Amino acid sequence: MEPGGLEWLLVPMQQLVSWGAAGAVVFGGVVPYIPQYRDIRRTQDAEGFSTYVCLVLLVANILRILFWFGRHFESPLLWQSIIMIITMLLMLKLCTEVRVSNELNVKRRSFAAADSKDEEIKAPPRRSYLDFDLNYFWHWSKFTDYVQCVLTFTGVTGYITYLWLDSSLFVETLGFLAVFTEAMLGVPQLYRNYQNRSTEGMSIKMVLMWTSGDTFKTVYFVLNQAPFQFSICGLLQVFVDIAILLQVYLYSHYPQKPVSHTAHPASTKAL
């Protein structure tokens, strides 16, 4: 068979591989959160998952989308950011509903002291993002507060980007901030585990998927001689993932004594 005779088969196969790779890039990032989402729905307990993970990914992907306007990159990476933002909002919605439902069942909010009026009606105090109280930041009672906060951040950063879009320094800095913020992905979960002295409620499958995905991505950066900051941020992500896995081993083999809520009131504030 002549070499040219295989073109009718090779070209469609190459196209399918290309589509498959693009699909993996677009949806691969959200796969680690599927087991965590299912665990929270099944147990109706969101205490083991840090919602600050959602905050990190929302900020990182909003900045990445804005970076696209200054330097167009591959479309699958752009769609990946859009899909990730939708996924994180769904995670926030579920976590907020579960947390508020549990707090209503016990007639209290563990992270805030009710004032006299709240005590009279025996209802937990409602907190809105408009309070601008850092003690309650990203731990609000309604999902709409999170949406309003995300829209505000997007509007402010979008306007700043529009004003400075012609500055290459600003665009490159924006891209670096997007990558670096994503590199901090595992830090909230790492700190949450340290606070609880436990990894109970956290999906180990999610962390294993983080680790494998970040390792593959970092190797890709190194082999393809990606910009230096990409490789450094990728390595940082891998180190944080490994640290979380070490926590899983440590807290499962050497259980820690829970932190006293009396001695450490801040420990009751969920992340």
pLDDT bin (cut points 50, 70, 90) of residue 147 is very high
Does residue 154 have a pLDDT over 90?
A: yes
Give pLDDT, residue 27: 78
3-state secondary structure the chain: CCHHHHHHHHHHHHHHHHHHHHHHHHHHCCCCHHHHHHHHHHHCCCCCCCCHHHHHHHHHHHHHHHHHHHCCCCHHHHHHHHHHHHHHHHHHHHHHHHHHHHHHHCCCCCCCCCCHHHHHHCCCCCCCHHHCCHHHCCCCCCHHHHHHHHHHHHHHHHHHHHHHCCCHHHHHHHHHHHHHHHHCCCHHHHHHHHHHCCCCCCCHHHHHHHHHHHHHHHHHHHHCCCCHHHHHHHHHHHHHHHHHHHHHHHHHHCCCCCCCCCCCHHHHCCC
Q: Which residue has the higher pLDDT, 69 or 261?
A: 69
Give pLDDT, residue 149: 93
Q: Which residue has the higher pLDDT, 11 or 124?
A: 11
Q: Which residue has the higher pLDDT, 246 or 230?
A: 246
Q: Which residue has the higher pLDDT, 31 or 90?
A: 90
Highest mean pLDDT: which range of 64-78, 89-103, 150-164? 150-164
Q: Which residue has the higher pLDDT, 44 or 127?
A: 44
Q: What's the rounded mean pLDDT across residues 56-61?
A: 92
Q: Which residue has the higher pLDDT, 5 or 28?
A: 28
